[in-house]
Structure 1
């Protein structure tokens, strides 16, 4: 078996661990594995990543539901707006050059990584936000995440979890809710773009199975590791991957 395939399948388990543990990060890790390790084109990578993340997130979300770590109302708003945004983003993504998609993906990874690594200060108590304002804020955030999901092949969890914690959700609920929303958003993006590329199903299905297996490890670790350390370590990983993608693109462009 090709060495690159063995490496990719080994890394698949880490993708599952990230999703099960953090409620996000599946796409930002799957994307470079498919594109850099396996050498698959950007558009096929996007669609394949959406499939992997949709299935793995759905499995992890089911376990989080049993733990009562899913906020259904918030998930409903994010899923509905994300579905609309995901379809629109998928159409936009088909119109953009692959180079632009890669740069956007890497840039978002870098910005998110920096935000994740910044120390979080305890917020002073604030008066409750009015329901209308809270609803508008949640709806706008969900729509924006959905657009990015469809256009870039990002499940959105690495954006949803920080967004939900900013909206006042505890980290466990943010992770559980994120997984459910990611499953819906990724499914929408996948179904929108599945007819645009030919997918290597044997590789994708094997990768998905290993990612699901890894998600069980992530779920088991989710209540045993300190959140701050996990967040910082994951931020470093995301930053490294984003910089690697940009560096690879620059080298390829200069070599052409």
Structure 2
């Protein structure tokens, strides 16, 4: 039963990564804790980082074939974030697991509001890195990486709005490009947790297997929704709000 739940949960994670370029760890951590039954929140975070990074790389390939990845912006953003992710994991492992999940949920709600406020913006689809936007790309990459490492997440729900803010690109390009950083941040975070022995490799494998199919479906749906103005933003924000409220309900009463 636990194996079946792991595969099904992985499919949902892969679907989310393909659809909104993130949400993998937003879903993976609570799914591991509340559905699959991983008792230690830190093991759930470490295992999800492995699974999310691998599924993000697969979904990046799917989006790249559609020509929506803006590599010149995504690569330096991810490079700046790797250093931040490694620092963030050091402090994240020092905090109580339940408190970490509550802070995680509160940050998600803030991001959801920001995404809804910008849902009508069209953006610049052919954006490239330049002297003007380079400081914002590197600065937000570093900040996002630090938060991703601290919360033990791939960071897509932070990276998508950060890329849109730094470059002005449309959400479909931010979703696609974010997967470069999600992969890099996830691997950085996973390496730190694996070094501490906080990864369940068998469960990570089940999540990755389920994520293959889910990712293909999510990528196709993302391309369809991107043609409808604001639709992908609304889906992005809705996923974040629902999971954040669930996590707050489960954890606030524990204090």
SS in 2 for 1:222: helix
Match of 1:210 in 2: 210
| Counterparts of 2:210 and 2:123, CA distance in 1 | 43
The match for 1:176 is 176
Q: Which residue in the other structure is 1:87 paired with? A: 86
Q: Aligned to 2:223, what secondary structure does the other structure show?
A: coil
Given candidates 21, 35, 38, the residue that maps to 2:36 is 38
- Which one of 240, 243, 251 corresponds to residue 241 of structure 1? 243
1:108, distance to aligned residue in structure 2 (A): 1.1
Farther off after superposition, 79-88 or 106-115: 106-115
The CA RMSD over aligned residues, in Å, is 2.3
User: 1:30 & 1:179 partners in 2: Cα distance?
Assistant: 16
The equivalent residue for 1:9 is 7
SS in 1 for 2:224: coil
Q: How much does 1:133 deviate?
A: 4.2
SS of the residue corresponding to residue 223 of structure 1 reads: helix
Q: Shift of the alpha carbon at 1:8?
A: 4.7
Q: For 2:190 and 2:132, how far apart are their aligned partners in 1?
A: 32
> In the aligned structure 1, how far is the partner of 2:163 from the partner of 2:63?
16
When structure 1 is superposed on structure 2, of 135-144 and 113-122 the one drifting more is: 113-122
Helix, strand or coil: the match of 1:175?
Answer: helix
Taking structure 2 as the reference length, what is the TM-score of the superposition?
0.88
Deviation of residue 49 (structure 1)? 1.1
The structural deviation recorded for 1:119 is 5.6
CA contact (8 A) 1:20 1:60 kept: yes
Determine the C-alpha separation between the residues in 2 that align with 1:60 and 1:227: 23
Give the direction of change, closer, same or farther, for the CA distance of 1:14–1:123 in structure 2 (3 Å limit).
Answer: closer
**Pairwise mapping of residues 194-209 of structure 1 onto structure 2 (< 5 A)?**
194-209=194-209
> In the superposition, relative to structure 1, how do residues 124 and 250 fare at CA in structure 2: closer, same or farther (>3 Å)?
closer
**In structure 1, C-alpha distance between the alignment counterparts of 2:14 and 2:7, rounded to whole Å:** 11
Aligned length: 248
User: Which ranges in structure 2 are unaligned for 5 or more consecutive residues?
Assistant: none
2:134 maps to what in 1? 135
Give 1:52-131 correspondences, 5 Å limit: 52-118=51-117, 120-122=119-121, 131=130
Q: Tell me the residue number matched to 2:233.
A: 231
Task: State which structure, 1 or 2, has the greater radius of gyration over its C-alpha atoms.
Answer: 1
Query: 1:98-131: CA deviations, max 9, x gaps?
Result: 2331122111111112223336344899xx9x94
Corresponding position of 1:29? 27
Give the distance between the partners of 1:89 and 1:118, measured in 2 at CA. 28
Q: Is the 8 Å Cα contact of residues 7 and 209 (structure 2) preserved in structure 1?
A: no
> After TM superposition, where is structure 1 displaced by more than 3 Å over at least 4 residues in a row?
5-9, 121-125, 130-133
- Calculate the TM-score normalised by the size of structure 1: 0.88
The answer (yes or no) to whether the contact 1:43–1:197 under 8 Å persists in 2 is no
Change (3 A) 1:141 1:98: same
Are the aligned partners of 2:6 and 2:206 in contact in 1 as well (CA < 8 Å)? no
